[in-house]
Amino acid sequence: MSDELSQKLKYEFQQPRYLKVALTHRSKGGEHNERLEFLGDAVVNFVIAEILYQQFPKATEGELSRWRASLVNRDTLAELAKEFELGRFLYLGPGELRSGGNERLSILSCAMEAIIGAVYLDGGFEAARAKIIEWYDPLIQTLSSAASHKDPKTLLQEYLQSRRMPLPIYKVDVIEGEAHQQTFTVSCRVDGMENITLGKGTSRRRAEQDAAQAMLAILKK
């Protein structure tokens, strides 16, 4: 099983024990991945910060921080984990297995960070840096091709402020699904406007961005 995952990751561990620990949730007992997660979090944050600093020389500190936060968070790391089908390889305790822990975003994202920490210990910083660059390349390219590098909520706020209009108000209307697979429905309204837009997403933030994008479309018509 570890060989199959190594092929997906395109990284061969010299010390396979690191990979096993990275995949072991604390519910399993014994040595687990929380310490590796701590290490991987520091490594991925540094590498992504370095990439952004080099690729966007004119960006402000605030912009760099916002882009890094969009790339290194639970949702993005969990999506990365899903690309490698990480849930299939996790070692979980009976309770987590029964409750679908191998699909829970928090567990997947932590395991992904732990794997980055494991690669760092196994092959050193350059090996970890190379894998992070490879795994994150599509996301970095998407960020590079974005015209303004600003998210819809920021664009909506700036649009309204430039016209001295009230700032948008977001409200969570509906939360559906189990705790590890929730869908949020958020409404966005602006005082003085009849239109109310709705957005959906796997997190409140994504739903708000969706609603803000819809509101921007109305305002710019």
Tell me the catalytic residues. Answer: 41, 113
Which pair of tokens denotes residue 119?
């690669």
- Angle of helix 61-71 relative to helix 125-145, nearest 10 degrees? 110
| Percent of the chain that is helix, strand, coil (3-state, to 5) | 65, 10, 25
Closest to 155 (Cα-Cα) out of 78, 217, 67: 217
Can you list the alpha helix ranges (DSSP code H) found in 124-178?
125-145, 152-162
Query: In angstroms, rounded to a whole number, what is the distance separating the alpha carbons of residues 168 and 182?
Result: 24
Which pair of tokens denotes residue 205?
């933030």
- The 8 Å CB, 24+ separation contacts for 89-95 are 89/1, 89/2, 89/4, 89/5, 89/23, 90/23, 90/24, 90/25, 91/20, 91/23, 91/24, 91/25, 91/28, 92/25, 92/27, 92/28, 93/25, 93/27, 93/28, 93/29, 95/27
Query: In angstroms, rounded to a whole number, what is the distance separating the alpha carbons of residues 14 and 166?
Result: 58
Q: Mapping DSSP to helix (H, G, I), strand (E, B) and coil, where does residue 187 land?
A: strand
